[in-house]
Chain A
Amino acid sequence: MTDWTAPKTFVAGEVGTAAEMNTHLRDNTLHLKERFSAAIRVGATMDTEDTTTSTSLEAVLNAQVSLTTTMTSDVVVVASFNAKTSDHTYPGIFRLYRDSTALGSILTDAEEVYSPIALVAHDNDLAAGTYVYKLYHARVGAMGTIYTDQVSIVAIAMPI
């Protein structure tokens, strides 16, 4: 990554040296260009019903998106999906993950017919690298099946 240097103020009659041109023209424009290029957006959809009877959060099949960041970034993840349980006594819970790291908060749904749900999470100060953002689901209690369908997941990385 190219560092930013506060631009020099030239005075009348001054001719920029090669070093100044490289610092203030080449490197500063490269810095700005690299930051633009490092602002990454990715999205994915999954439209096949997935179920779980697990009481531990597990990934919804194929409800994930891979994101490669080239600079330290803040990432915002948003998912919309439909969810239901087979028994309202035993609701479903839903959470966003980065790889195996839990993000944001847990939502609960106890409806026995599909309901529309949206989740958002802020993944702060993330080092450069490749990550997979996923939607997880699980059952609360001893019985019932949790259903998840029509998942749309979007991740936006903004360099800091």
Chain B
Amino acid sequence: MTDWTAPKTFASGDVGTAAEMNTYLRDNELHLKERFAGSTFWSVTMDTERTTTSDTVVDVTGTTLAVTVARASDVIVVASFNAKTNDYLFGSYYYLYRDSTYIGLRAVEWRETYQCAGLVAFDDNVAAGTYTYRLKYSRAEAGGGTVYADQVVLSVLVIPTV
């Protein structure tokens, strides 16, 4: 990644040297170009009903999204989906994750017919690298019931911090 250098103020009679032109013209333009290129948007949709009877958090199959972060960035993750359980005594939880890291907070659904649900998470200052963002789910209460998810749209916005 190309660093930014505060541009020089030229004085009357100054002729830019090669080093100055490389720093203030080439490198600063490259820096800006790389920041533009680093601002990326990713999305995945999944329109097949998925279920789990797990008491622990598992992936909603088909809702994983591999994202390449070119430089340190803030990442905003938004998901909309339909959610239900087949037994209101046990309920269902939904979560956003980056790889194995839980981000944001969980949504809970106790109803036995599909309901509209949404989640948003702010993943602060993520280092350059490749990550998988995903929607996960589990039973809210252990021991019974099936948890459902369908019509998932998972979107990720990456914005460089430097």
The answer, among B10, B119, B124, for a CB contact under 8 Å with A118, is: B119
Complex interface bits, B12-47 against A, C-beta within 8 A gives 1, otherwise 0 = 111110000000110011011001000000000000
- Asked if B67 lies at the interface with its beta carbon under 8 angstroms from chain A, I say no
Binding site for A on B (CB under 8 A): 4, 7-16, 24-25, 28-29, 31-32, 35, 74, 76, 78, 80, 83, 88, 91, 94, 104-111, 115, 117-122, 124, 157, 159-160
Check B24 against A18 for contact (C-beta < 8 Å). Answer: no
Binding site for B on A (CB under 8 A): 15-18, 21-22, 25-26, 29-30, 32-33, 36, 39, 41-47, 78-82, 111, 113-118, 150-154, 156
Q: Which of B12, B25, B31, B108 has the most CB of A within 10 A?
A: B108
Cα separation A32 to B36 with both chains bound (whole Å): 10
CB-CB under 8 A from A118, the residues of chain B are 80, 117-120
Considering the complex, give the chain A residue whose CB is closest to the CB of B7.
A26
Check A47 against B10 for contact (C-beta < 8 Å). Answer: no
The answer to whether A80 and B29 touch (CB under 8 A), given A39-B159, A45-B105, A113-B88, is: no
B77 to A: closest C-beta gap in Å: 9
The answer to whether A151 and B105 touch (CB under 8 A), given A80-B118, A115-B111, is: yes
The answer, among B12, B28, B29, B78, for a CB contact under 8 Å with A78, is: B78
CB-CB under 8 A from B117, the residues of chain A are 115-118
The answer to whether A79 and B14 touch (CB under 8 A), given A26-B8, A32-B32, A156-B76, is: no
CB-CB under 8 A from B88, the residues of chain A are 113
A/B interface sample: 23 pairs, CB < 8 A: A18-B11, A18-B14, A26-B24, A29-B7, A30-B7, A41-B74, A41-B122, A43-B124, A45-B105, A47-B105, A80-B119, A80-B120, A113-B111, A115-B109, A116-B115, A117-B118, A118-B80, A118-B118, A150-B108, A152-B121, A153-B120, A154-B76, A156-B159
Cα separation A124 to B4 with both chains bound (whole Å): 31
Check B115 against A79 for contact (C-beta < 8 Å). Answer: no
CB-CB under 8 A from B104, the residues of chain A are 45, 80, 152
